[in-house]
Amino acid sequence: MTAHRDSANMPPEIGKLAAGIRAGERATLARAITLIESRRADHQQRARALVQELLAATGKAIRIGITGAPGVGKSTTIDTLGTFLTGKGHKVAVLAVDPSSVRTGGSILGDKTRMARLANDPNAFIRPSPAAGTLGGVAAKTRETMLLTEAAGHDVVLVETVGIGQSETAVADMTDFFLALMLPGAGDELQGIKKGVVELADMIAVNKADGDNVVRARQAAAEYRAALHILTPRSPTWTPPVVTCSGLTGEGIDAVWAAILDHRRKLTATGEIAARRREQQVKWMWAMLDERLRERIHSDRALRARLPQIEAAVASGKLSPALAVDEIAAALGIAQS
């Protein structure tokens, strides 16, 4: 096995960054995350050295994934939950996984006014998703960012999925607890629920349970509970609860947090949290390897110039996908299997 780099051989600037992060310096943390997100090869090498140096200081935070359809009130709920937690003495980091940001022109989280209280809270740190990249690449960068925020002393990390499709799975694969926010008045919406998202959820919270919506929210919660009975839970130890809350008024936010702590106690006792994290580490390794290979392809000028012709040949049926892969692999120096 290859030996890990000795800290004594680490570049001075990496040691300085690591020391600043351990000291909880916000500006240093932000600078280090920018290094993590950089696509430059030399920056990536330094970022890997930095993460390795800080690895022993990570892993102690509660990692919470949050998903929900546009308009469900994720930002408001995160702002309220995060403020509730900093009020209890926690240090909170808010991260995003947004693979669609390359098309939409920026992460939804980029506008910190959506989380006005947390943005001005000295015990909170908000970081939008990288501005471009594949889902695997964005998720890997977010995972590395999470490790840096943990090393900086943040003991609760909220990871919001603001993209679509597989981004929910990516967030579930980097967190301990996955919260799905739903809208009141489920009714026909139950037909439109993505079964996969509900199966991933450790809790469903019907948001916007305030004002005239309270009754509808309770009815929706009852329908979601009935729907969950036909699904197999992720854990034999935990039956996902369904609660109502209001990100706007804060009603029910304490119950959400109490359930998260209860889940942590129970799954820590059975060893499931530790097992889940071990599985996640391996998944992250493969995601980063996939991204590295993808970057190799696009950084090879000669191959990049040939790719349009290869793609056109595959699209027209003149070249089989298998032979096209052989050609690309050969250009990268990868032996045929």
**What is the pLDDT at residue 144?**
93
Most confident segment among 67-76, 112-121, 219-228, 270-279: 270-279
Q: Residues with Cβ < 8 Å from 30, sequence gap 6 or more?
A: 127
**pLDDT class of 125 with cuts at 50, 70, 90:** very high
Residues of the chain above pLDDT 90, percent:
54
SS3 assignment, position 314: helix
Please say whether the beta carbons of 265 and 177 come within 8 A. Answer: no
Residue 107, pLDDT score: 43
Does 1 score more than 90 pLDDT? no
Angle (CA) 68-132-149 rounded to 5° is: 70
pLDDT band at residue 230 using 50, 70 and 90 as cut-offs: confident
For residue 106, what pLDDT is reported? 42
Confidence category of residue 194, pLDDT binned at 50, 70, 90: low
Q: Which of 11-15, 89-93, 265-269 has the lowest mean pLDDT?
A: 11-15
pLDDT of 163 strictly over 70: no
**Residue range 89-102: mean pLDDT, rounded:** 83
| Band of residue 189 on the pLDDT scale cut at 50, 70, 90 | low
Spatial distance between the Cα atoms of 173 and 189, rounded to a whole number of angstroms? 26
Task: Note whether 82 and 176 are within 8 A (CB).
Answer: no
Mean pLDDT of the chain: 86
Strands 242-244 and 203-206: parallel
Residue 35 has a pLDDT of: 94
pLDDT beyond 90 at 193: no
Reported pTM? 0.86
Quick one: pLDDT at residue 50? Answer: 95
Structure confidence by residue, pLDDT tens digits, 243-277: 999 999 999 999 999 999 999 999 999 999 999 99
Q: Which domains does the chain have, with CATH numbers?
A: 1-57 (1.20.5.170), 58-269 (3.40.50.300), 284-331 (no CATH)
What pLDDT was estimated at residue 297?
Answer: 86
Tokens 């298998």 correspond to 322
